[in-house]
Every structure is written in C-alpha cells, then in structure tokens.
Amino acid sequence: MTAAYELNNIKVSHNNVCILNIAELRIASGKCIALLGENGAGKSTLMNLLAFTAKANQGTISLFDQVIVNKLKPKQRRRIAMVSQQPYLLSGSVRDNIGLALKLQGIARAQHDSLIEKTLQQLNLSHLADQAAQTLSGGELKRVAIARAIVYDPDILLLDEPFSHLDQRHIKQLEGAIQSFANKANKTVIFSTHDHPQGLAIADETLNLHAGKITAAPLLNLFHGSLDQHDFDTGKLVIHANSDLNDANHIAIDPQEIIISHKALDSSMRNCFKGRIVLIAQETNTIRLTIDCGEAFQAIISPESLKHLDLAIADTVWLSFKSTAVTVF
Amino acid sequence: MTYFIDSLIAALELITSFDHSIYRIVATSVSISLIASVIAVILAVPAGVLMALNTFIGKNSIQHLLNTLMAMPTVVIGLLLYGLFSRLGPLGHWGLLYTPTAVIIAEAILIFPIMMNLTITAVNSADPRLKPTLISLGANQFNLAWNVIKTMRLAILAAAVTGFGRAIGEVGAAMMLGGNIEGFTRTMTTAIALETSKGEFELGLALGLLLLIIAFVLNFILSWLHRPKQ
C-alpha cells in the first residue's frame, strides 16, 4: 500500500524545548487513523506539519512518495484538507466560505454551484447555506469547516480535535460525516483526539503520541516515575515491568489486560493491587472501570463481566495484570 | 479679545458666504492630499500586507526604518526633494519644483510609512487562524494577501484615512516644494501661514476652521470604522 506520508527524523522545537521528535513514521493511504495523546502531547504540531501549514526544524516529510522540500505545488495542496481545532470561517455566508475553497483551489467556476450543493447535502447543511458564518453554533461551524475542506475532494482529510467541546448529538453527526468520507476509495483520514475510546470507535488504526514521541503504548493507565531493576516506582505504587530500559520514565498498561476480581488471585501475575471502583462508564460494546489503588487505573471489561461480577461504585476489588502488560518507554 | 472675536465673526462670514478664493484653496488642498493618499495606499497597503505575512531576513530592520520615517520632520522631506527637484538637482530637468506634482510626491512619501506601518498593525491584529486557514485551502501569495486585505478592510481603510489626515495638515514640504502659488499650489496650511504673516488673520482663521472641520470629519470616520461590533 502506498504511503500517504513518510516522516523521517522530524524535530520541532519551541524556545529550545523539543515539542515533537519523530524518528520514523509511515502513514498508509486509504486508512482512517486516530492520533491519540494527552493535551500538550504534540498532536496539533504534528497535524500542522502534515497539513504543511508549519515547518519542522529538522527532518523530511514525503507526501505520496514525494519529498516536500519547500512549499507544496498546487496539485499537491489540492490533495490535502485540514480542519483545525477551532476552525476559522471568513465573513460571509456558509456558501461563500465553501465557495472560497473552490476558488482558491482553482476549480472552474461552472462547477462551483453543483459541488457546493452536493457537499451541503452530504453534511446535512443545506438549510444553513445562506446563513452568516459568524452566527453558527459550535457544532454547525465544525461541520461547515469540514464541508469547506472536502468540497474539492481531497485525498487526505486532517482533523485536529474534531470532537472537542461538542455535545453527543453533534459528535454523532460529525462521526457520520467523517466515516462517510473515509469510506470512499483511497481516502485517508487522520484525526487527533485526547479521548481514547472516541479514537478506537471510528478509526482503523491508532497512533499514540506522548511528550512529542510516537509510542506503541496504548496511553491509558499512563504513569510517570522511574524504573529500577524491573520495578517502576510511580511515587505511590511500585509496578513490576518486564523491561531493562533503565532510562525510561513512563509506563502504560493495556486496560484490556487488567483482570478484575473480588479476591486476590492466586496466579503468576506479578502485579496485584486492591482498590475501590470510582467510575463505571458504558462505551460502545464495553464497560470502562476506573479503580483507585493509590493511582487511578482504568480497566475495560465486557457488559457480561460487569453483570457477572455484580460491580458497583465504591466496591472494593482486586486488579491483577502481568508484567508483560506493562509497556515501558 | 475683541480682535479675536471680530476676526472669528469675519472668518465665519467668509466661510458662509462661500468665498471663492477660500474654497479654491480648500479644493487644491483636498485634491493634492487625496491624490497623494491614493498613491501611498497603492504602494503602502500591498507592501504592508506582504511584510506582515512573510518572514525574511532584514524584516526587523525595515520595521525600525519605518518607525524612524514616521517621525521624520516634514521639512526634512521637503529639503531632500527640493535638492532633487531644484534646477541644479539631479531631477531638475523634470521641472517639478513649485508644482502640485512635487507637493503630491512629498506628501505621498511622508504618509507612506504611516500607512504601511498601520497596515502591518492591521494585518498582525487579524485572527491568527486566518493565514493558516487560507494556506490550507490552497491560497497562493496573491490570494492570501487579497483575502487578508478583504478581511481587514476596515482597519486598512482607517490607515488610509489617517494618512490623508496627515497629508492635509502638512505645511513644511508643501511650502518648500509648492512655493505657495495662488490658485496653483496654495494649500490650506500654506495659506494660513501666509495670510497670518500678512495680517489677514480672519482669512487664516477661516481656513483654520475649515481644516478643523475636515479633521473632525476624518476623526468621525475613524471612530466609525473602529466602532465595536454589535
């Protein structure tokens, strides 16, 4: 499969502080990819690099196997669309804003009306076509920004935190819009989010970004501390990890590898902690438990397990996981 | 006090009687300043927008130079252009000295840094998302500049009005390069200086009042342009 992007030795610094450091990254085309990470992990910086609206201090980025040295050529620019975290609409109507994208992309004027109408219908925005852009609600504004981005049929759609500050109804509408674009042939969608389940729900793949670095860790149950002889000390708990990386100071534990029980298990699992359930949240086909053991752990179980274990908030439970479930980085 | 009040009444009579000589001076002044402003806008607005939108070596030095030029005394500009346009100067054969064209050139040079600086400020005050949005939508350098000008049009218009206000109130360069020739290069400011020195205080006062009215109208326009959005 061809690569939409290939990043090599990318470094971005701000005031001599490195905020993004990616040795190598290949993003295949035709996929819907969630870029996950906490606030400040470098997601927006990476999105801006991928949109070529910002430059790295070091390294190279290839777009569809072509190294981009300086600026994008108009044909290359037309293959990418970006919707920022807080999209900016220019003064004028919704139609004017979508039309501007077509004008700037140099698309023949005769096609403008039909393309605008088609996109407005696709995103269920036809009733807002002549409304002033400045009077739109947050959810409407994001959908208009997506309409403006996809009206010229780009190959790559980049969305920076598209679901932030939106209610469930608007999130559902946006998810539908993103998925309908992603389902088209050879379309690549990359969206950033700090909400891990959101990313898993609609993405084919996830990319985890932590402190400016791409990591294979799932970024849930993320703890900071120091590793000494396989023991990782968070300051509150000591977690056994199967790693020899002595300079590592982060660990992450896959929430699906955590086993919940009412009593301490007699097993080979090296990590076993007692805690209280502080949150039970239902997600798509799964249940997420938050358990306070001194550190807050998150575990993902099935609705059947929840029923079988008869768990409720404030219950005391034991959680166990193998040292191989701990990713050290 | 009686002298001042009598002169003020006489000045008001001159204004209300639509004295031909007064309004001819006003027309000369307005037309020279307007042409100078149009020339300065054509040069300063694109230059200001391009400078604000781009990063290049020497940008800070140009900014310092513009700030210095904004504070440059008008007589210095008059002096330099006098040297260029006088018979013995390098451009003397153009025959521009003591013509409205020389005054227009001087005033355009005078207000260029003001308009360019205010345009840079206007573009820098635009929403920081504007430029990346336009670039991501495929804007080239021309589209980018044009859409930024369209978005910031009121602030840029305010820069133009400020420049016009500065031009119409200018006296030093207009006197040196225009020569204060009646019906040709006599502007409101040079006429005020001349008439007052001749003892024609009421005529100077009448022109001064009209200049104040123009300044008031310009400030009203500026306040309207900067009014808070509803």
**Residue B154 belongs to some domain of the structure:** yes
**Residue B129 belongs to some domain of the structure:** yes
**Residue B97 belongs to some domain of the structure:** yes
Confidence band (pLDDT; 50, 70, 90) for B230?
low
- Partners of residue A88 in chain B, C-beta under 8 Å: 127, 129-130, 133
Calpha distance A12→B40 (Å, rounded)? 40
**B61-118 pLDDT tens trace:** 999 999 999 988 899 999 999 999 998 899 999 999 999 999 999 999 999 999 999 9
State the complex-level ipTM.
0.75
State which residues form the domain around B44: 2-225
Calpha distance B180→B197 (Å, rounded)? 13
Instruction: Locate A21 and state its tokens.
Output: 């450091």
- Cβ distance A86 to B143 less than 8 Å, yes or no, reads no
Give the residue, A163 or B145, on which the prediction is more confident.
B145
Q: Using the predicted structure, report yes or no on whether residue A284 has a pLDDT greater than 70.
A: no
Q: CA angle at residue A262 from A257 to A268, to 5 degrees? A: 50
A209 near A38, Cβ under 8 Å? Answer: no
pLDDT at A218: 63
**A13-41 pLDDT tens trace:** 988 889 999 989 999 999 899 998 888 88
The mean pLDDT of chain B is 92
**Chain B: which residues have CB within 8 Å of chain A?**
127, 129-130, 132-140, 143, 147, 151
Highest mean pLDDT among A66-70, A224-228, B162-166: B162-166
**Residue B38 belongs to some domain of the structure:** yes
Calpha distance A295→A263 (Å, rounded)? 19
**Residue B230 belongs to some domain of the structure:** no
Of residues B129, B133, B138, nearest to A105 (C-beta): B138
B23 near B220, Cβ under 8 Å? Answer: no
Domain of B148, CATH number, reads: 1.10.3720.10
**Residue B7 belongs to some domain of the structure:** yes
- Cβ distance B134 to A101 less than 8 Å, yes or no, reads no
Find, in chain B, the residue whose alpha carbon is nearest to that of A78: B138
- Cβ distance A53 to B130 less than 8 Å, yes or no, reads no
**Residue B172 belongs to some domain of the structure:** yes
**A34-65 pLDDT tens trace:** 998 888 889 999 999 999 989 999 999 999 99
**Residue B142 belongs to some domain of the structure:** yes
- Cβ distance A148 to B137 less than 8 Å, yes or no, reads yes
Number of folded domains that form chain B: 1
Calpha distance A253→A291 (Å, rounded)? 13
Gap from A104 CA to chain B (nearest CA, Å): 5
Calpha distance A205→A190 (Å, rounded)? 10
3-state secondary structure of A251: strand
3-state secondary structure of A207: strand
**A69-78 pLDDT tens trace:** 888 898 999 9
pLDDT at B229: 60
